């Protein structure tokens, strides 16, 4: 069993050493809780559990603590993918919902599994997800001062369970001050993709991740027999051609865990039941 999570990139604006330490400590706690959860749950159940914990921590740009868009509203996106069934579900630009990943999970059994905008929000309300403002004072302050961080990314999780099944989940609060209606990579297969060969969750600038089809390319290359490390290196070399800003985490079917970013600011943690590694 293996698990890896990410908390996006550190802010482009300066962050205190205390904030960076707090993020590392939060990731350490969440990855350990999620691994313990994985012991008695599937990879699919575990990625939702882990991302929900990340959404509930205002240190990260997802759920509580999401960025405010240019019109003053928060719109979030989240998705999950099960490697066993290769089913994908997600929500795009959902509003006033505490945990978008749980709404994506609810959609998993529906024929129409990706909903956007008011459709996603209405689905949440009709299925018992109460209206909840995810705005925190810090995000409002950043918005009013036009100091919202650029490209701080998302949160995500990839898990390999005891039966060898892989799943991936990703959730984002946007990049801040974006045009209303803008769609990120987090609820697309470019940013979140899994088969039972490999699972990948991305963070960074959504447009770059979509242009390079980062998660899909990595997983496809691994499925075609390319080692995970080489699949990452080739995909990120292609990303570099467009000066793309992205990071990704992954686990393959043999339990290899890998990560790479185009800018050395991504923060994430992995756990195999023995060693917890925190990266930044």
- Which residues are the active-site residues? 154
Cα 169 to Cα 142, 144, 145, 265: the distances in Å are 27, 31, 32, 20
Task: List 203's β-bridge partners, or say none.
Answer: 247
- Closest to 48 (Cα-Cα) out of 110, 101, 3: 101
| Residue 247: both structure tokens together | 């990071």
Task: Give the tokens for residue 67.
Answer: 């960025």
CA torsion angle for 7, 11, 12, 15 (degrees, to 10)? Answer: -140
Q: Return d(Cα 53, Cα 41) in angstroms, integer.
A: 16
């Amino acid at each position: 069993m293996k698990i890896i999570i990410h908390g996006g990139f550190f802010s482009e604006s300066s962050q205190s050493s205390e904030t960076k330490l707090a993020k590392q400590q939060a990731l350490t706690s969440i990855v350990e809780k999620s691994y313990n959860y994985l012991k008695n749950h599937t990879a699919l159940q575990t990625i939702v559990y882990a991302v929900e914990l990340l959404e509930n921590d205002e240190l990260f740009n997802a759920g509580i603590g999401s960025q405010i868009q240019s019109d003053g509203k928060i719109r979030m996106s989240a998705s999950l993918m099960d490697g066993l069934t290769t089913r994908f579900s997600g929500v795009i630009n959902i509003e006033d919902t505490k945990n978008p990943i749980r709404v994506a999970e609810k959609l998993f059994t529906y024929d129409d599994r990706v909903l956007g905008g008011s459709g996603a929000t209405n689905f949440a309300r009709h299925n018992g997800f109460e209206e909840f403002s995810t705005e925190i004072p810090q995000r409002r302050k950043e918005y009013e001062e036009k100091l919202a961080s650029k490209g701080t990314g998302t949160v995500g999780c990839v898990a390999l369970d005891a039966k060898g099944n892989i799943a991936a989940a990703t959730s984002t609060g946007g990049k801040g001050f974006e045009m209303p209606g803008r769609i990120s990579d987090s609820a697309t297969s470019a940013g979140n993709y899994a088969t039972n060969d490999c699972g990948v969750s991305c963070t960074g600038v959504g447009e770059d991740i979509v242009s390079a089809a980062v998660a899909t390319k990595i997983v496809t290359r691994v499925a075609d027999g390319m080692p995970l490390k080489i699949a990452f290196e080739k995909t990120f070399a292609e990303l570099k051609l467009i000066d793309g800003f992205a990071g990704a985490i992954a686990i393959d079917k043999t339990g290899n865990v890998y990560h790479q970013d185009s800018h050395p600011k991504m923060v994430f943690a992995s756990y195999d039941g023995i060693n917890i590694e925190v990266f930044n």
